[in-house]
Amino acid sequence: MLIIPAIDLLNGKCVRLFQGNYKKETIYDNNPLEVAAKWISYGIERLHIIDLDGAKEGYPKNIDIISEIVKIHQIPIQIGGGIRSIETAKSLLDKGVEKVILSTNAIKNPEMIKSLCDEIGKEHVIISIDAENGFVSINGWIEKTKIYSIDLINQMSEIGINQFIYTDISRDGTLSGPNYKKILELINPKYSILAAGGITNIEHLKKLKDIGVHGSIIGKAIYTGNIKLNEALKI
């Protein structure tokens, strides 16, 4: 199972939000470049970066920081937050990003997702399923929809997407444990699931691996020290 540290960027700083609430942020470091270097020094296979400003505004806002991280470190990086056009996605790949993460357009413009896969290859596209009580939220988790997680995954699978991130919003940043029940409902050999939200300790990671998750994205728990990255990478 992949262990993927998360860096969330807001106003150029490394932060964590509580349940995706922009009014409940904790700043963990003023220098995301140093944080990236720290996590990469442990020998991780992939880094997860979310542009929170971009997710809210609808276009990437922390491009300079992201570009610098990509330029310095030869490691696969997946980027999300405000990627709403094919041009933006292609621009990020041109800068060296390996995978782009989209969520809002999976609902608002699924044809764009299909066209994006045709242009850059589906192996470079991840769809993020950010849900609360089973229903997907978009636009930086601000807009709630009436679309169920599994329905959106099935729809995206039909157009060729085979990589998904599932985040339980109610547990994100809470250190309250993953929503195993919901994650289990999504496990399918046709696609891979990266789990996020609520992961607090090594036992959580072991259980996620046991139920068939392809990878776990860890945020707050590695910043607080609840999870030691070197121990997590041994799972």
Nearest alpha-carbon partner for 152 in 168, 166, 136: 136
pLDDT band at 23; cut points 50, 70, 90: confident
- Catalytic one among 29, 53, 64, 130? 130
Residue-level pLDDT at 170: 83
pTM of the model: 0.94
% of the chain surpassing 70 pLDDT: 100
CA 52 to centroid of chain Cα atoms? 11
Q: How confident is the model at residue 37 (pLDDT cuts 50, 70, 90)?
A: very high
Helix or strand (DSSP H, E) at 40: helix 32-40
Write the CB contacts of 58 (distance below 8 Å, at least 6 apart in sequence): 82, 84, 139
> What is the per-residue pLDDT for 176?
87
Cα torsion angle, 203, 205, 207, 210, sign = negative
DSSP for residue 97: -
Homologous superfamily of the 2-232 domain (CATH): Aldolase class I (3.20.20.70)
CA dist 68 and 191 (Å) reads: 31
CA distance 42 to 233: 8
172 is catalytic: no
Cα dihedral 11/44/226/102 (nearest 10): 50
Residue 140 has pLDDT above 80, yes or no: no
Q: Express each pLDDT in 213-224 by its tens digit.
A: 999 999 999 999
Residue bearing tokens 């029940």: 181
Centre a 10 Å sphere on the Cβ of residue 91 and count the other Cβ atoms it contains.
Answer: 16
pLDDT at 21: 80
Please give the pLDDT value at position 36. Answer: 98
Does residue 146 surpass a pLDDT of 90?
yes
Residues 6+ apart with CB under 8 A from 196: 6, 165, 166, 167, 168, 172, 216, 217, 218, 219
Query: How much is the pLDDT for 65?
Result: 96
The catalytic position among 8, 51, 168, 172 is 8
Look at the block and give the residue holding tokens 């922009």.
22
Give φ, ψ of 32 to 5 degrees: -60, -25
pLDDT score for 142: 78
Q: Is 8 a catalytic residue?
A: yes
Instruction: Please count the other Cβ atoms lying within 10 Å of the Cβ belonging to residue 11.
Output: 12
Confirm if 161 and 113 have CB atoms less than 8 A apart.
Answer: yes
User: What does the domain layout of the chain look like in residue ranges?
Assistant: 2-232
